[in-house]
Amino acid sequence: MTNAKRTAVWWIRRDLRLIDNQALSAALATHDQVIPLFILDPALLTSPYVGQKRLAFLFEGLRQLEKELREHGSRLLVRKGKPLEQLQAIVEETLSEVIYAEADYSPYACQRDAEILELLPLKLTEGVVVHPPGSVLKDDGDPYIVYTPFSKVWKKIPSPSKVDLFIPPDKISTPDNIKSLPIPKEPALSAEALFFPGSKEAQARLEAFTASKEMPICQYGKGRNFVDADGTSKLSPSLRFGMVSARQAAVSALEAVANAPDKDARKGAETWLNELIWREFYVHILYHFPRVRSQSFRSDYEHIRWANNEEDFEAWCEGQTGYPIVDAPMRQLRQQGWMHNRARMIVASFLVKDLLIDWRWGEKWFMQHLVDGDPAANNGGWQWTAGTGTDAAPYFRIFNPILQGKKFDPDGRFVRRWVPELADVPDKHIHAPWEMDEAAQKAAGCIIGRDYPTPIIDHAFARERTLEAFNIAKDKD
């Protein structure tokens, strides 16, 4: 085909948005026409780490992006196949001069992009994180492997402001008559889904959390750990797919810090900003140490003799461990594809430290079920809890599931919602229902061992077993 206008491809990966999209901005700055392209990569779609809920969220997100593009006079092009082959085809069909994409930093993405860079005019911009790998380093050029010094240097780097955020033009010119596949209809987003995808939804969530009159971000430090409260932003799925940029999230957090009415409110907003920096820290770790996808960061803990009991693992997956504060979030995960961050730590600690099951089993299960499943953050979180990672909690820090329940779900509201068998159990027994006597069990309509399982393991025994296993592994190294 002939093409008198200069044309660029905007290769959409983890940036399903128009606002503050640096790849789209670069394409529009230098070319007359832009081709928004999403490639259905079989290597990702069929990965054992990809779950149906996350795919449904992605596909509906693509439909929302398509609507936005139509509002700007453009449209979304969809192709399926190996990215290199599909990009070669689209460049030949449209005589495009360049392909713009936001850099990604997972091992797969790095290898994929390196191969394409050798053969095609691919230009990578920033956007997945605020400060990309290589920009936050020690004085000797080595990467940080501990969060606190990383965060201090991260904060010293000049931060973007609102004026730096790209606003798309009213008109985005896209060539006609380019063939496109339909966006897959299956898996479909459930009517009970906790999150609705799309940039507009993400913008609304960010605004409500950081800039509304109530400014929930200012209460984040106090309320974020209570699993029965709505104290988090719930922006993680949007950040996972770039329906809102990391840069805009950071700008909003910094503005909230600056506008906080008092010291406590400012501390709350700073706490949320620190969570964004944790996200970036794990992206950097995965980039600099790609082996963590399959290995413990701390090599001495590769020698742990895991119990890896499959029946115990199945009970954990099904939310049938007999520990309510473990079972409730595991059931929520299966139904909604999301879990509160405190609950993630609790259930991860139980799997690794109580059941002595390899953290990689849990990491994979989470990736299969989480809508916001991100290879860097998920891996980092699991290794942190397991005590095998970088900025790791000591291996001897083992969460007591009963105490965690009492502290972070004090009235048992969260447990009762997701474990209805325990709906009528009194507050004093809700996190240890097996302690009820026979009369109390009958009164609550919940016979332990029949209506709800007895604990699959004794926590005190499990703690000692885990300490021994970790100590033996350390001695072997």
Is 359 labeled as catalytic in the residue annotation? yes
Is 275 labeled as catalytic in the residue annotation? yes
Helices (H), 390-429: 401-408, 413-418
Cβ(412)–Cβ(386) below 8 Å: no
**What does the alpha-carbon distance between residue 134 and residue 329 come to, in Å, rounded to a whole number?**
36
**What does the alpha-carbon distance between residue 100 and residue 24 come to, in Å, rounded to a whole number?**
7
Strands (E) across 200-278 are located at none
Question: Which among 124, 456, 148, 143 is positioned nearest to 311, based on CA atoms?
Answer: 456
CA 447 centroid distance within chain: 37
Is 10 labeled as catalytic in the residue annotation? no
Cis peptide upstream of residue 187 (ω within 30 degrees of 0):
yes
Amino acid at 234: K
**What does the alpha-carbon distance between residue 409 and residue 338 come to, in Å, rounded to a whole number?**
17
Cβ(131)–Cβ(109) below 8 Å: no
Q: Which residues contact 236 (CB under 8 A, 6 or more apart)?
A: 338, 372, 374
- Catalytic site residue from 66, 275, 363, 421: 275
Residue with the two structure tokens 């990391």 = 246
Is 382 labeled as catalytic in the residue annotation? yes
Burial class (CB in 10 A: 0-12, 13-18, 19+), 48: exposed
**What does the alpha-carbon distance between residue 283 and residue 278 come to, in Å, rounded to a whole number?**
9
- Catalytic site residue from 382, 384, 418, 421: 382
Q: Output phi, psi for 39, to 5 deg.
A: -110, 125
- Catalytic site residue from 11, 278, 338, 384: 278
Is 418 labeled as catalytic in the residue annotation? no
- Catalytic site residue from 11, 154, 272, 359: 359
- Helix, strand or coil, per DSSP, at residue 12: strand
**What does the alpha-carbon distance between residue 165 and residue 203 come to, in Å, rounded to a whole number?**
13
- Catalytic site residue from 97, 115, 255, 306: 306
Q: Which H helix or E strand runs over 124?
A: strand 122-125
- Catalytic site residue from 3, 259, 309, 341: 341
Which residues are designated catalytic?
275, 278, 306, 341, 359, 382
